[in-house]
Chain A
């Protein structure tokens, strides 16, 4: 029985990874390495048995911690999905995404682990400019959008550069776009917050921009596929050192997705107030300025305006062709799972 080590396995995507590897037949032994243990309360959405998941607590940038964990579980393959979420300080991204990843690669090689799957991000190619049907030939922009995307790009490059048959070390990078699902604390919860704030009537931009969202379970499945391709010597060379965009293969207009979430929550607006992009950016600057004065978090910022007005959709032909990837859960079902999970969390808090 093989062992898989899920770095970042206690996180949002990590739990979905546990589930996807749990569903593999024959089931591998699943070890988790993270800064914190598995959540005490795990959503009913997941069916894996937490007692059978071995958890190693440690600091990803600590050579000692990582080496110790690798020795204890002796993994066939390491899956690295650890990353701080958006909106954090640059130094934290540097520590986890860059130093942490560099350390993990070094420890893996030193411990003779031969395979590594890295969760990169579709954001590595995004710098605020529109992304129309991007594929893997798109370059990393010279001027990054933010520290998150910059450090993810650096880490991805490190991982792919490390892939080398001569060193008997093989890596894959997966670039998911707009991950959402049970455990998500940004996308769907953010939209629900907009609903609770009574702001659903406002539309920023003309809503012609296509966006890719990806259900977390599908992202996790793509990691399993990458693992299987890496471990099979017949398919190894087709994936080793390669990057793959992963989406739900269902690009849709930004506000249509938002409205679908609100509709699923029982809310439908009869009309919209449209703020064009330049107007919204101006309001964003003003909002940022005045909220800064009173020490409050602004709802609308120029950054957020650029995000919601940009086209960001991708061509995932390579993942389909080489990995055999097919999104299992559609957007509508994914939204339903996420809202159900949010309701479950809310109900738990009342107990």
Chain B
């Protein structure tokens, strides 16, 4: 950990404590791969996404391998799609037929740029296949079906010259693009989760919920990655939105367009917040704790990121990220559903208070925050908010949320015990440190 990061942590003591708790006090899962191929897949997972690897490793054994393989297969697909050195004559048929490779026992692809870090998922795809075929048939089918849809979607965009030249046009196109790159991932994960019986089967009838899970993350990343995407010659912000503020998307890099750029970000954040209620509903229907963590952590990261990029002109200059300490705090606090609701409430307030009256969407943003806050209250009413004789309205959302909150009670106790232990340790170390300083000073004074 670099010096600047240490300093950053010390500037935020609560985040420092969270980082300590996360690293030393939380029980870690012990994972032992059962085969060489699985070991190889784990290695690939860590190479392609260290943070995601950590989360996948936390999953219950039932879903760990299926989701790891699902992730790696999609990463392989994405690597082909992303690689500009692969000509369309090769790229398109490879994407569209990629799902058929899952029926094979030996297949690799050496057509992507070897300097691309993720190309290992293609050059070593045979290892992925080994583990894939060890999975239960229903998991294999889900991964294959989703891969087929994703491949078709990616090929559709790769073939779309207008898209490549002009990017996303309308908000509807924006939603559709996010559906292909993220909504389908949410759909696939949902099918895996319900097949494992770790979530309510009603999730399969409400694909709008998993869709919102995917879109919330993707839209957040698209807004945040403005500069990075622009430098790569790609545009994902919908012209229907940014066209109100500038003639060209790159105009926002100019000083005179900064304010317009910030208003544009506000409107995009407002659009992304439209996914929040369904995301929260989705999480209330996930019963297994490790799976809940897996799905909740990205969502709370997203709402924290939206609050960070909202009204932030730095987004137009660089990749804005939340602090490491904030990440640690979010991971710890989002282990229960009530923790997730509190996090959303916290960051909604930040967005609400940040919003300047002059923003063209001032009232709309205010109304959206109010709407989500009202939903948070519906899901888990503060008991002090209800007068004597009143009962919460027994809506389906409320009942689902309460059921979820009930399953969290034993976990709440584990968390409290862990937090107490960490607090005691940090306090002890703190007191010791202060005592040593005092004695050092005392002896120094005596020696004068």
Please give the residue numbers on chain A whose beta carbons come within 8 Å of chain B beta carbons, in ascending order.
125, 129-130, 132-135, 137-139, 141, 207-208, 210, 250-253, 256-257, 259-260, 262-263, 268-269, 313, 315, 317, 331-332
Contact = CB atoms under 8 A, between A and B. Distances in A.
A262 B357 CA distance: 10
Contacts of B388: 139
B357 A259 contact: yes
Given A132-B385, A256-B362, A210 B370 contact: yes
Nearest to B375: A133
Give the 7 A-B CB pairs with smallest separation, nearest first: A132-B385, A256-B366, A139-B389, A251-B370, A133-B377, A252-B370, A138-B390
Contact of A134 (B363, B367, B369, B390): B390
Interface string B365-402: 01101110110011001100111111101010000000
Contacts of B366: 252-253, 256-257, 260
B363 A332 contact: yes
23 contacts: A132-B377, A132-B381, A133-B381, A135-B390, A137-B389, A137-B393, A138-B390, A210-B373, A251-B370, A251-B373, A251-B374, A252-B367, A252-B370, A253-B369, A257-B366, A260-B357, A260-B362, A260-B363, A263-B357, A263-B358, A268-B357, A317-B395, A331-B367
A236 B164 CA distance: 59
B393 A317 contact: yes
B352 interface: yes
Nearest to A134: B390
Residue from the set B357, B373, B390 with the largest chain A CB neighbour count within 10 Å: B357
Interface in B334-368: 349, 352-353, 357-358, 362-364, 366-367
Contacts of B378: 133, 315
Contacts of B377: 132-133
A132 B383 CA distance: 10
A138 B387 contact: yes
Nearest to B352: A253
A207 B369 CA distance: 13
Nearest to A251: B370
Interface residues of B, number: 28
A134 B385 CA distance: 9
A133 B374 contact: yes
Contacts of A252: 363, 366-367, 370
A328 B381 CA distance: 28
Report whether over half of chain B's contact residues are helix, strand or loop; otherwise say mixed. helix
Contacts of B381: 132-133
Contact of B374 (A141, A208, A257, A313): A313
A156 to B, nearest CB: 16
A208 B363 CA distance: 15
Residue from the set A250, A313, A331 with the largest chain B CB neighbour count within 10 Å: A250
A342 B378 CA distance: 37
Contacts of B353: 207
B370 A132 contact: no
A268 to B, nearest CB: 5
A130 B385 contact: yes
Nearest to A314: B374
A137 B357 contact: no
Contacts of A130: 385
A256 B373 CA distance: 15
A346 B369 CA distance: 35
A130 B116 CA distance: 57
Residue from the set A138, A262, A317 with the largest chain B CB neighbour count within 10 Å: A138
A123 to B, nearest CB: 14
Nearest to B366: A256
Contacts of B385: 130, 132-133
Residue from the set B353, B381, B385 with the largest chain A CB neighbour count within 10 Å: B385
A260 B364 CA distance: 10
Contact of B390 (A139, A250, A251, A313): A139
Given A263-B357, A268-B357, 12 more contacts: A132-B382, A132-B385, A133-B385, A134-B390, A139-B389, A207-B353, A208-B352, A251-B373, A253-B370, A256-B352, A313-B370, A313-B374
B27 to A, nearest CB: 36
A139 B389 CA distance: 6
Contacts of A133: 374, 377-378, 381, 385
A252 B355 CA distance: 13
Contacts of A137: 389-391, 393
Interface in B264-309: none
A74 to B, nearest CB: 40
A313 B358 CA distance: 25
Contacts of B386: 132
Interface string B229-260: 00000000000000000000000000000000
Contact of B371 (A208, A250, A268): A250
B357 A269 contact: yes
Residue from the set B358, B388, B393 with the largest chain A CB neighbour count within 10 Å: B393
Contacts of B364: 332
A49 B374 CA distance: 40
Nearest to A210: B370
B363 A256 contact: yes
A47 B373 CA distance: 38
A25 to B, nearest CB: 32
Given A210-B374, A251-B374, A313-B374, A331 B389 contact: no
A125 B388 CA distance: 12
Nearest to B393: A135
A313 B377 CA distance: 11
Contacts of A135: 390, 393
A250 B366 CA distance: 9
B10 to A, nearest CB: 29
B274 to A, nearest CB: 14
A134 B378 CA distance: 10
B146 to A, nearest CB: 36
Contacts of B369: 253
B358 A268 contact: yes
Interface string B101-131: 0000000000000000000000000000000
A132 B384 CA distance: 10
Contacts of B393: 135, 137, 315, 317
Given A130-B385, A133-B381, A252-B370, A263 B362 contact: yes
Given A139-B387, A317-B393, A331-B363, A208 B349 contact: yes
Contacts of A138: 387, 389-390
A210 to B, nearest CB: 5
B382 to A, nearest CB: 7
A259 B374 contact: no
Given A141-B387, A210-B374, A250 B357 contact: no
